[in-house]
Chain A
Amino acid sequence: MSTATTTPPTPAQHVPLSVRPPGSGFRRFKNRSATVILTGAMIIAMIPLILIIFEVTRRGIGVVNLEFLTATEPPPRREGGGYAAGFVGTLYIMALAVAMSIPFGIATAVYIVEYGPNRLTGAIRFFTDVMTGIPSIFVGLFVYGLLVVGWGGLGFGTFVGAVAIAVMMLPIVTRSAEEMLRLVPNEMRNASYGLGARKWQTIVHTVLPAAAPGLATGSMLAVARGIGETAPLLLTAFGTGIIVTAFQGSPQGAVPMQLYRGASQPFEAGIDRAWGAALCLFVLVVLFTILARWIGSRASVGK
């Protein structure tokens, strides 16, 4: 600086730290407004959930009663009645789907964790991941093409619906079971081998029990996902308004399907019942989700 020669320069260390360069006020302003905007984004993201919970509760609570759970649905114009057919169908389909997907999913995870990594487990892991992204409607089309009309030729029914839901659940079960089995410490396996156990004995008697709470968590999250699935069922179970106990051969109903049909018709009574079903479905899903997380956090292995 040329002026430094005429006036004695103020040494840099004498400038108080609180006196910042001219940009700083604007920088601090930017920082503060960014914080405000980010907080605002968080609030915006919470709004839909709050609105949904509020509205489903408000309009559903008056509908859900004993009759809603035990009676079948009248024509959409008429009031009263309930979703008994849907509940029976959902319970039936979910029981079958759980029986199909959870053993396969856990066995797959056992293979990946205990016998991997090799080229096959790599492929299984990758395609399990990819499978979580398959559109649910496509799963419905696939089961329709394979079992309803195709090689199976079974027609619509409970079983084919359950197959579709099981295909949707399988990757979720496998992924979470894999994570849980990896958390089992190797010392436990080695201790079991040290006692002379064979590998299958180690897995069945040591690894799986140790991972059991985690496996339950993953399975329940998968069930929570499966309960709400609608699209694949439209193409496989097809839907009905009456209680069906047939294993296969006649169309089966389910709560989400019935909800969808009720909500898309312009009749007030049917729409009211749909809100009631939404409340039941929501409570079930949230219950399963929270219970799963609770079990998982209470008894997680390796912590």
Chain B
Amino acid sequence: MPTEAPEAPQAPEDSPRRTLVAGRGRLADPIFKWTVAACGTVVLVILALMVIRTTTEAWPVFVKEGFFGFLLGETWDPGGSRDEITGTYGAWPFIYGTLLTSVIAIAIALPLAIMVAVYLTHVAPRRIAKPLSYTVELLAAVPSVIFGLWGLHWFLPNVMRPFFDLVESTLGWFFLFEGPVRGVGYFPAGIVLAIMILPIMTAIIREVIAVQPLEQQMAGYALGSTRWEVITKVVLPSSFSGIVAATMLGLGRALGETIAVLMLIGGSQAWGASLFGAGSSMASHIAATFGESSPEARTGLMAIGVALFLVTMIINILARVVVWRLGQFTGDAAV
């Protein structure tokens, strides 16, 4: 298989010594090697700089509030100082918004992604399976700002509004669906997030399902199983870790998504249990208030960014470890 990493070539080492060591341009090879190696380490340098730079920038806020005080504090009241920390920084309302929208998104996208992946690999006629999966992946190429625009000016008035009216009149007494409904809020943001993470989750689950050994499925059919039984009893159980990885990568996307959430979540700094309430996510709060913020408030936003980075990083690394341990497929759908 050509995908194996090529070994260091033997040919030049077997050639006469003078061409290798004393020949003209003998420095060219090491220079080339170290140049590309230096380019490669740029990624590591960027990541290291990211961690160092943002953490030092946000450090005063963590010192003042304490790490858990920052994460669990419910008041966000930045001061206007230039070089010291005078305000109160509690990021809980934004953390709550991030978690809630992401959970809504995963709850909708995961079952749908599994079903679509199963459809594409096991049910769809071979002729249309490929165009269909391309189309689903095209959804991943749509810029998030277009999702935001569409969500705000089409989805909200045409789909969510009638839905809200219905639910509020029938289930408004229940704390999850409490009014007042403003339109924008956690729920529509979560739904649009679900649409946005569906392609990446589908792509990964599809790849995982596609590499499941055919023999076991054939054995299942030979025992008289229906297609549905083969799917639920043979294919899906052995794809479990891949589905977990896809969920985590989708979750990572959902947690970090900014613009579409910003346009749909409502930008309020309050938080509450109602799914229909307006709020802010961590990323959306950074983007919404960054422009008009004082230097001190930007330090606070930097601290939110660091917390967000930590969470997404942990989830991503776990997901990558799962994907790498599967090892059977390329995983480039995740890009």
Map CB proximity to B onto A122-152 as digits: 1 under 8 Å, 0 otherwise: 0110111111111111110110111001110
| B327 lies within 8 A of chain A by Cβ | no
Report whether A45 and B198 are in contact in the complex, using a CB–CB cutoff of 8 Å: yes
| B135 lies within 8 A of chain A by Cβ | yes
| B171 lies within 8 A of chain A by Cβ | no
Can you list 5 residue pairs at the A/B interface with Cβ under 8 Å?
A: A104-B39, A134-B316, A228-B143, A263-B149, A281-B143
Q: Given A256-B259, A275-B149, 6 other A-B contacts at CB below 8 A?
A: A45-B136, A107-B36, A124-B40, A128-B43, A275-B153, A278-B145
Which A residues, 169 to 190, have Cβ-Cβ distances below 8 Å to chain B?
170-172, 174-176, 179, 182-186, 189-190
**Complex interface: chain A residues within 8 A of B112 (CB):** 41, 44-45
Which B residues, 2 to 50, have Cβ-Cβ distances below 8 Å to chain A?
2-6, 8-9, 11-12, 15, 19, 25, 28-29, 31-33, 35-37, 39-44, 46-47, 49-50
Query: Which of A151, A179, A200 touches B29 (beta carbons < 8 Å)?
Result: A200
**Complex interface: chain A residues within 8 A of B141 (CB):** 224-225, 285-286, 289
Among A3-11, A32-40, A65-73, the one that faces the other chain is A32-40
Map CB proximity to B onto A89-119 as digits: 1 under 8 Å, 0 otherwise: 0000000000000011001101111111100
Query: Which of A103, A136, A151, A194 touches B256 (beta carbons < 8 Å)?
Result: A136
Query: Which of A42, A103, A111, A142 touches B116 (beta carbons < 8 Å)?
Result: A42
Least CB distance from A90 to B in Å reads 11
| A64 lies within 8 A of chain B by Cβ | no
Residue of A104, A190, A271 ringed by the most chain B CB atoms within 10 A: A104
A216 to B41, CA, bound (A): 23
A286 to B137, CA, bound (A): 11
| A264 lies within 8 A of chain B by Cβ | yes
**Complex interface: chain A residues within 8 A of B6 (CB):** 113-114, 186, 189
Residue of A114, A263, A275 ringed by the most chain B CB atoms within 10 A: A263
**Complex interface: chain B residues within 8 A of A135 (CB):** 255-258, 283, 308-309, 312
| B53 lies within 8 A of chain A by Cβ | yes
- Per the CB 8 Å criterion, the residue count for chain B at the interface is 104
Least CB distance from B255 to A in Å reads 7
Map CB proximity to B onto A252-279 as digits: 1 under 8 Å, 0 otherwise: 0000100110011000000100110010
A134 to B253, CA, bound (A): 8
Map CB proximity to A onto B136-148 as digits: 1 under 8 Å, 0 otherwise: 1011011111111
Report whether B12 and A199 are in contact in the complex, using a CB–CB cutoff of 8 Å: yes
Report whether A31 and B316 are in contact in the complex, using a CB–CB cutoff of 8 Å: no
A209 to B19, CA, bound (A): 25
Least CB distance from B13 to A in Å reads 10
Count how many pairs of residues, one from A and one from B, have CB atoms less than 8 Å apart in the complex: 294
- With A111-B40, A133-B316, A200-B28 as contacts: A278 and B146 at CB distance below 8 Å: yes
Report whether B32 and A142 are in contact in the complex, using a CB–CB cutoff of 8 Å: no
Per DSSP, are chain A's interface residues mostly helix, strand or loop, or mixed?
Answer: helix
B interface with A by C-beta (< 8 Å)? 2-6, 8-9, 11-12, 15, 19, 25, 28-29, 31-33, 35-37, 39-44, 46-47, 49-50, 53-54, 57, 112, 115-116, 118-120, 123-124, 132, 134-136, 138-139, 141-150, 152-155, 195, 198, 202, 226-229, 231, 249, 252-253, 255-259, 262-263, 283, 286-287, 290-291, 295, 298, 301-302, 305, 308-309, 312-313, 315-317, 319-320, 324, 330-332, 334-335
**Complex interface: chain A residues within 8 A of B36 (CB):** 107-108, 110-111, 114-115
A interface with B by C-beta (< 8 Å)? 27-28, 30-31, 34-35, 37-39, 41-42, 44-46, 48-49, 51-52, 55-56, 103-104, 107-108, 110-117, 120-121, 123-124, 126-139, 141-142, 144-146, 149-151, 167, 170-172, 174-176, 179, 182-186, 189-190, 193-194, 196, 198-200, 202-203, 224-225, 227-231, 234-235, 238, 256, 259-260, 263-264, 271, 274-275, 278, 281-282, 285-286, 289, 293, 302
Residue of A120, A129, A149, A224 ringed by the most chain B CB atoms within 10 A: A129
Query: Which of A37, A124, A179, A285 touches B330 (beta carbons < 8 Å)?
Result: A179
